[in-house]
Structure 1
Amino acid sequence: MFSRLASALTLVLSLVDGQFNNPPGVDIWCGKAYRDTNASFNPGGWFEEPAKSETPLIDFKIKPRTNLYLEDDTVSSFIVDAPMNWYRGHALPDSNTSIPSSHSSEIMLEIKAGNQSLCLNKTSIALGSMDNEIPFDVSSLAVSREPHNITIVGTLAGHMSSTFTATTRLTKLPLRNDNGTVTRLDNLYGGLSVRKGLAKQWTSLFPYTYYVQWSLYWNANISTLDDFASMGYNVIHIVPTGDLGNTPFPWDEFQPYLDRAAELGLYFMYDPMSLMEMSLALNCRDFYYADYAAGAEIVLEDVYPISTNASWSTVYNTPCNATYGCCGCDDCEGSFADISTRLDEYASKDSLLGWQKIHWAAPQAFGNETFWTRYPTAAEEVVMNMLSINHAAKGIVIGGVFNWRKVGARAEGQFWCLLSILTMATRGLTLPSRYLER
């Protein structure tokens, strides 16, 4: 669904003449002309590195440990960062021209919600440090549909006139009484945790799922849910297409599936009864990243490099490069490295933009169509999944429309091996540590 939505959005925008840099009547993909009847042009949208400061800056930031709390939560904290960099933040009082090798100076902290102090004890962090966890009493804040505005003021030790200010918002919601779920993000490690129904405890979740078409798999029998769960998947991601055509989705037939999924402990990617995060999959390597990613908490890479010609489009008979062509994998080399490179590049852009996005992966599991000459092997699927996790993906949504009859025909035993390996790999990684290097 993620890649289909992103592709649909790209298609819609391509039909609007002049929406980006494209000349009137020129269809685009990732901003680029791709038909052999059109010429190459500058697609625009490339990421530009911010201007570099002449002096080092303190990037002073605060965020809640989780993106929301419920009214009965008792464990709560803020994450405070004060790294030094050359791109954004507050100048040092002595206007040093280099970042000190030792950050021994302390920053005294004061955290408030309006006029209410949230840290009663004196708190300080080291200049240059990151991921400082500052506990506070969340029960002192009222439940509200509107977020609380949080302000932090830091004072540099030895420079009492040098203060730094940052703001954030904290959401504290009432408990649900409709048996729906609540999902929240861990802003320190990037993992998910869930409270389902009337449960009192948060449960960590590493999402592991597949694009699954309703009329090509699910509607065969409700027992397909049992089969799906037994394979190790924990999230249902239904693609409401298949051979439905213009036929409306059969919601009445769907309700028993919702009930059975709840019994099996399966979660839904887009649960209408859930409070959850916004997610977005990006087909493009470098096309208005900041604009597209701004509205999502979770950003997926959508790289499909297996069995495709990354330099020549076999569908449109054109070359593929930074300004022209569509080969099904934007600006790729056609190797496993495309996955790790894309995840690392997104993380680098996030760092330069000064925000934190959670990244998931969509490993390729389809082929023998359009740009792709064959299906990935089971071994290749293992590599793509594990490479994604090693490069900080906090969730897996396998790209390709799942149909166990077809997958099983390829390599049932090998695929089960893949699932077993992934189960072992993700056990204990529900909240993976992010990379120390920035």
Structure 2
Amino acid sequence: MNLYTPGDGKGSFIIDTKISYIHGEPWEITDHNSQSLDIELSIGEAKLHLTHSVFVNTSSNELEFPLHGLAPRFEPYRVTIRANRPDGSHAYSATTDLYHLPERIDGGSITKLDSLYGGLLVQDYTKDSSWSPLLPYSYYVSWDGWLEKSLSNVQIFKDQGYNIIHIVPNAGLANEAFNFTELKMFLDKCDEVGLWVMYDMRWTYQNLTSVQYQVDLLKTHKSLLLWYTGDEPDGQGDPLNATKITYDLIKSLDPWHPVSLCLNCYNFYYEEYASGADIILSDVYPIAVNTSWSTVYDTVCNTTYGCCGCDDCHGDMEDISNRLDIFAEYQSWVGNLPKTFWGVPMAFGNESYWTRYPTAAEEVTMTMLSLNHNAKGIVMWDYPTSNELSNITSKLSQVLASDRIARFFLGAVTVPLRVTGHSKIDVSGWRVEDRMLISILALQMPSWSNAVSIELPGGASVVKEVLWGSGGWKLDKGLLVKEGGHALETDIIVVEFDA
């Protein structure tokens, strides 16, 4: 976890020893897969010393440690790791920070970020204090366009099944934020009904005085889930250090909640802007858009010039998955801690670059494609939306916002599964104990009539449940098989494995 609290009895470190050709210290043994490292790990003044052995070129090695010897405090514990070759010929070292924070005494909530799988853990303050995974599924919601019109809209939104709400501030106000008297009533209502809040400071995040005022005003609300600072700071050309400066200030004021921002560009100073957040959102809008000629500016769009509303896109579904994959790759190149990524599916249309709204099938595909490529949250732009999209996303929320399904998406590695029989089907799985959740997406293409098969890990025994879609997938000698299907078909199923 990115932080621990006094109720935690133990924690764990994640040790990665992947071979890198970009950063690190030289490793001169060619047969590195058979090599091991002896690990010595120490925690500052706590005098906690741990030893372990891991193989080279592996990741996600967990080393548990007790927390009882680490007094809760706001200052992080400095952790040093030393990795020695067994023959003693070389040693490698790295450092990190461990946060064991005091309990909150102001009534506010705590959001933990799982550094292994990238998900959020929260306490349901309306029921009990146990920690549960939360897969955010919701919209950016217009404050002045809808929310502030009636306090009952909070309950209406909650009743549609969404588990968080991202409130978009009112740029028309003098403070470029909110009427804070009205906002307090809104947050009190969210506290009451148990609707998590993603708080947006897009217009004010570079005004540090305003940021401090807003954080101090809101940080004790039980419904506060996380902060949101820059909205497309790369596309806006904000100062490269702006997001990090604000991140450091927020963390000094509120260490209990993560900070997020949304990046718009394929790669415009990714490292600098991403350094200012724990969670990076990606808003790729590929539906009904001309990606080669700007209908707004009447200019060409290519890799170096022009704005077509979707940076370096081809106008197909793969734009979404490609962007999430490349962001993860950038983060590995940077060499810092991994980031969590969320998707921002398009839920608007008939404006600027986009000639229509997505269809219901396109909306579901964009959402599930993001999750298939390791997004750990979905916040669509924007609400209110069309009746068609409102209906389908409310229906999908019954699946994605449930605790049972969140435990798959947030409790296991995202595993791409190999497909034969069609090149335009995207499949990923998440296995927890003897069951695997599988998401099967037919991307933009004509319907097909031939047999398609999906390779599963050994031991798959039965299709236990169909959570979404028409089904029709059957197990045959360890393969998921189906004959025929239609464009933009989405199936979410659970497969059981032999014990």
Q: TM-score range by the shorter chain?
A: 0.7 to 0.9
**Contact 1:190 1:432 (C-alpha < 8 Å) held by counterparts:** no
Pick closer, same or farther for the CA change 1:189–1:204 going to 2, 3 Å.
same
Q: CA deviation at 1:127?
A: 2.2
Over 3 Å counting, the alpha-carbon distance change for 1:246 and 1:134 in structure 2 is: closer
Q: 1:341 aligns with which of 322, 332, 336?
A: 322
Structure 2 counterpart SS, 1:252: helix
- Structure scoring higher RCO (CA < 8 A, sep ≥ 6) equals 1
Q: Which residue of 1 aligns with 2:363?
A: 381
- What's the counterpart of residue 156 of structure 1? 85
CA distance in 2 between partners of 1:380 and 1:222 (Å)? 31
1:192 pairs with one of 120, 140, 144: 120
Of the structure 1 ranges 362-371 and 75-84, higher mean CA displacement relative to structure 2 is found in 75-84
Contact (CA 8 Å) 1:204, 1:430: kept in 2 or not? no
> Which amino acid is 1:74 matched to?
G
* Inter-CA distance 415–88: structure 2 relative to 1 (3 Å threshold): closer
Cross-structure match for 2:165: 236
Partners in 2 of 1:379 and 1:415 — Cα distance?
A: 10
**2:148 paired with 1:219:** yes
The structure richer in strand per residue is: 2
- Cα 1:351–1:130 shift into 2, 3 Å: same
1:139 is paired with a residue of what secondary structure?
A: coil
Look up the equivalent residue of 1:256 and give its one-letter code: M
Query: Match for residue 98 of structure 2?
Result: 170
TM-score normalised according to structure 2 size = 0.68
Deviation at 1:131, TM superposition (A): 0.8
Choose which of 254, 277, 281 in structure 2 pairs with 1:300. 281
Rounded Cα–Cα distance in structure 2 between residues aligned with 1:414 and 1:280: 26
Between 1:363-372 and 1:71-80, the stretch displaced more is 71-80
Residue deviations 1:216-243 (CA, integer Å, cap 9, x gap): 2112322211111121211121112287
Aligned partner letter, 2:34: S
Corresponding residue to 2:257 among 276, 285, 301: 276
Measure, in 2, the Cα distance between the counterparts of 1:291 and 1:203: 32
Deviation track 1:106-130 (CA, whole Å, cap 9, x = no partner) reads: 322211122544345x421122221
C-alpha distance 333-228 of structure 1, shift in aligned 2 (>3 A): same
Is the CA contact (8 Å cut-off) linking 1:379 and 1:418 kept in structure 2? no
User: CA separation in 2, counterparts of 1:361 and 1:182?
Assistant: 23
Pairs within 5 Å for 1:81-230: 81-92=16-27, 95-96=28-29, 98=30, 100=31, 103-114=33-44, 116-119=46-49, 122-157=51-86, 159-195=87-123, 200-230=129-159
Question: What SS class does the counterpart of residue 428 from structure 1 fall into?
Answer: helix
1:396 is matched with 378
Say whether residues 1:433 and 2:412 are aligned partners.
Answer: yes
Q: Following TM superposition, by how much is the alpha carbon of 1:197 offset from its aligned partner in structure 2, in angstroms?
A: 5.6
Q: Is the 8 A contact 1:114 1:150 kept in 2?
A: yes
Letter in 1 for 2:267: D
Counterpart AA for 2:35: S
Aligned to 2:15: 80
Q: Map 1:243-322 onto structure 2 (within 5 A).
A: 249-270=178-199, 272-273=219-220, 275-322=256-303
User: Is 2:363–2:389's contact at 8 Å kept on the other side of the alignment?
Assistant: no
Equivalent in the alignment of 1:68: 3
**d(CA) in 2 for partners of 1:189 and 1:435?**
9
Structure 1 residues 250, 309: CA separation in 2 closer, same or farther (over 3 Å shift)? same
CA distance in 2, matches of 1:411, 1:346: 27
Unaligned runs of 5+ in 2: 200-217, 225-255, 417-499
Is the contact between residue 144 and residue 173 of structure 1 (CA under 8 Å) also seen in structure 2?
Answer: yes
Matches within 5 A, 1:49-60: none
Name the CA shift for 1:395/1:148 in 2 (closer, same or farther; >3 Å).
same
Q: Is the 8 A contact 1:83 1:128 kept in 2?
A: yes
Partner of residue 327 from structure 1, selected from 308, 323, 329: 308
Contact 1:386 1:422 in 2 (8 A): no
Q: Is the 2:372–2:414 contact (alpha carbons within 8 Å) kept by the matching residues of 1?
A: no
Is 1:419 matched up with 2:397?
yes
Percent identity, aligned pairs only, is 43
Residues 176, 247 of structure 1: CA spacing in aligned structure 2 closer, same or farther, 3 A cutoff?
Answer: closer
TM-score by length of 1: 0.76
In the TM superposition, residue 365 of structure 1 has moved relative to its aligned partner by 0.3
Which AA in structure 2 matches 1:187?
S
Could you tell me how far apart the structure 2 residues matched to 1:259 and 1:287 are?
39
Residues 140-170 of structure 1 show CA distances to partners (whole Å, capped at 9, x for unaligned) of 112221111100112211x124211111001
SS in 1 for 2:321: helix
Q: Structure 1 residues 430, 418: closer, same or farther in 2, change over 3 A?
A: closer
Mapped to 2, the partners of 1:179 and 1:246 lie a distance apart of 27
- Distance in 1 (CA, whole Å) between partners of 2:288 and 2:320 is 14
The one-letter code matched in structure 1 to 2:397 is L
What's 2:477 paired with?
none
> Do residues 352 (structure 1) and 330 (structure 2) align?
no
Please list the CA deviations of residues 241-296 of structure 1 after superposition, one character each: whole Å capped at 9, or x if unmatched.
28768897332233232222112211111253352112111111111111111221
Separation in 2 of the partners of 1:328 and 1:415?
23
Structure 1: runs of 5+ lacking an equivalent: 1-65
In structure 2, relative to structure 1, the CA distance for the partners of 1:412 and 1:184 (3 Å cut) is closer
